[in-house]
Amino acid sequence: IDKETFAKEILGDGSTALNGFVPANFAKNPDTGEDFRKENGDLLPYNIKEAQANWTKAKEELGKDKIELELISADSAIAKKTIEFVQGQLQQNLPGLTIKLKSLPLQNRLDLQTAGNYDLAFGTWTPDYADPINFLEFYDSKSGLNTSG
């Protein structure tokens, strides 16, 4: 997904592309004072060729040429714009992928996520405190924030 285009053209609010799980200027290394994002580098570069190679491998492992997934989101205007952009990027860059969109009232989307009844989900969240773990705990399989199973 072209994060630069998303930040500039879809959000258009001064946002910048995020190339890691923790944003820039969020937290500093307590020993060095260096910004966490800068210290850890760009972990999520925009690389279509690598994405396409991984996609081809995934399709081969699944034994499928075409895959259809549903992407759910809340029904806010920005959520709709976001999932439409994501759908376009994924379908354009990953041959054989179809993304169906489903916008729901927020509570309905949350209920589906909690129950694990979804393929892909888009939601927003804000951190509670200025520590990188606040973002990284999403990826702990035991975290209540991780609804991916």
CA 102 to chain centre: 16
Spatial distance between the Cα atoms of 38 and 133, rounded to a whole number of angstroms: 16
pLDDT above 90 coverage of the chain, percent: 79
- Cα distances from 2 to residues 8, 44, 95, 99, in angstroms, run 10, 11, 16, 17
Confidence of residue 14 (pLDDT cuts 50, 70, 90): very high
pLDDT tens column, 49-107: 999 999 999 999 999 999 999 999 999 999 999 999 999 999 999 999 999 999 999 99
The pLDDT of residue 149: 61
| For residue 139, pLDDT beyond 90 | no
**Domain coordinates in residue numbering, the chain:** 3-139
Average pLDDT, the chain: 94
- 142 pLDDT band, cuts 50/70/90, is confident
Sheet of strand 67-74, all strands in order from the earlier edge strand to the far edge: 97-104, 67-74, 120-121
Q: What is the mean pLDDT of residues 124-129?
A: 89
**Domain 3-139 has what CATH class?**
alpha beta
